[in-house]
Structure 1
């Protein structure tokens, strides 16, 4: 059943903004967009939608936002700690307002940071606590929605997208930025499986979840059909940037060694405290307090008379490190991959979209070649390439 009016939360985000565009321009379904920060709403404001100022942490604004809506698409995810409570408040607002259906857009991350099945499916992939903040937050929020559906408070559909790309995607723009700097950065040779799905295909799955009566109570993985590696994904977008590029392959062993080397130790904290104590800027701040300033000046005068200039320079060099070191020309290099990126790009399994195809009547309409081409069209418009 096509909804009469939809509330979209997370409307200014990557997927939410594209959904609003399609609701206005193609689907022609009336909607209201929940907006926390109007400075981020420029992309959807040009569509002249109904905007409702509010916040997922404010029950009053949620109650006002859902009024008159018979369906809600929840794309909001603030901080991990507040995800469960905010989802509970949204469900309560929906049930009080008589909303018929809630489509909750979750993530494949509910199956853990690195599921280990041969082909991931809804039937054999558990949803539980993993000890990883984002995965646990997504799982907790999803559990709230599922419980509301089981007790009959509201119709619910849960969607679990994989790697969503397209215009404005934060999976694409860092690749292009690296390429503009002359780099292509890979994790473990780019041999991991990239479960990429184009953003419009995710929006089509949301529309199907809103309309299909037999989708009620279901949870569906939303993935594209192309079984490709991260090397293929990254080099496709990097190749859209003109000029020669160096490939930097960060092996898992190198990444782990870097992590160990950069993890702060107790002695590092002590050394940082000593450098701060010896810092002229810190002394200047302390000197604004008259008694402390007099003490610092007296101490410096006493030491100045007791040690020679060479000794002074040695002490300053030791405490202030590179401050007195001669500048060294270092060739630019890409940043070490973040932990989240390593987890994503070292993943070796393809995620099945079979259940979504059979029960939602949905299928991805954008092979990767087409999705990449449309993303490139936007990047040219945005002067990124």
Structure 2
């Protein structure tokens, strides 16, 4: 399945300064064995002591320049013009005949409220949901898949679920609320949380660089056991002293408010200019008394994603359950002075 002799000589990592990218580079530095180049859009994103290249995928020629000397790509970067950036990177990778392209997609390509058919890759479908992040990531995955289908790119597509641990967005959101004294959840936290520890995602990425069986395939990267959002939120909130107040909100009430006050679409340049003109004229959207719609949808998620395809094709298995991930993250935060010892 995996061939250590097929390890890429040098790998370009886009999004290397992001949450998953930073952890992936840390692990590669500690373990050795895989040479890489960390791509940053600006000098501020470069990390001392690491082989890096400053490039912007939206600038013509930058993708090819960043790929110089690399025979593999791990594509983690995502921005406001993600599909255009991904298209340029794929074109450069095809032109330079890279041996492996690992594209980090997301479970969100199946929308904020997928049906039971999305639980397994064989029946899951990618669509458009009028939701900026989901739609952008769906288009990016389709660009990679099109290159696979044409036989131009030896790519593996990974769809991580809710990635947490060691500084992830999801636990930081809970900790920020907890430190302010009050943490909210929806419907007593009964929604499904497909939480996967960041190191397990990094393991899957590294396995995708080597597995020939996974080429041309897309797969979920998830823990063996999903938990509830109540478990996730209460677990991280309990790390804060003094203990915060836990408040359960009605998901139906939140969704009703947002249905009556829909958020403005992100839109293109014309939409952004119009929004700016409204702002200058003193026109403000109503201030929501509720959390963002995206959060309520995420935390009332209805299904658990399977991970057996990734296990079979990558020779991978998650090693960190939620209790372990919570403890590892607590130690990590305390070592940085972000939690009381």
* TM bucket normalised to smaller: 0.7 to 0.9
TM-score, normalised relative to structure 1: 0.78
The residue number in structure 2 matching 1:347 is 301
Give 1:131 shift: 2.5
Give 1:276 shift: 6.3
Which stretch of structure 1 is more off in the superposition, 95-104 or 155-164?
Answer: 95-104
2:258–2:293 CA contact under 8 A, matched in 1? no
Give 1:132 shift: 2.0
Cα pair distance change 1:276/1:128, threshold 3 Å: closer
More helix, by proportion: 1
**Stretches of 4+ moved more than 4 A in 1?**
260-265
CA distance in structure 2 between the partners assigned to 1:13 and 1:182 by the alignment: 28
Give the structure with higher Rg (CA). Answer: 1
CA distance in structure 1 between the partners assigned to 2:123 and 2:182 by the alignment: 39
- RMSD over aligned Cα, in angstroms? 2.3
Gaps of 5+ in 1: 266-271, 278-333
The residue number in structure 2 matching 1:130 is 129
Cα pair distance change 1:257/1:98, threshold 3 Å: closer
Which stretch of structure 1 is more off in the superposition, 256-265 or 82-91?
Answer: 256-265
Alignment of 1:370 with 2:324, yes or no, is: yes
The residue number in structure 2 matching 1:117 is 116
The residue number in structure 2 matching 1:221 is 220
The residue number in structure 1 matching 2:104 is 105
Give 1:130 shift: 2.4
Gaps of 5+ in 2: 1-5, 265-277
2:117–2:124 CA contact under 8 A, matched in 1? no
SS at match of 2:61: helix
CA distance in structure 1 between the partners assigned to 2:59 and 2:299 by the alignment: 36
Give 1:215 shift: 1.0
Cα pair distance change 1:264/1:207, threshold 3 Å: closer
Cα pair distance change 1:245/1:71, threshold 3 Å: same
2:207–2:315 CA contact under 8 A, matched in 1? yes
SS at match of 2:223: coil
The residue number in structure 1 matching 2:210 is 211
TM-score, normalised relative to structure 2: 0.87
Residues 147-189 of structure 1: CA deviation (Å, up to 9, x unaligned): 1112121201000000000112110112111111211210121
Q: How many aligned residue pairs are there?
A: 317
Cα pair distance change 1:130/1:253, threshold 3 Å: closer
Alignment of 1:8 with 2:6, yes or no, is: no
Alignment of 1:31 with 2:32, yes or no, is: no
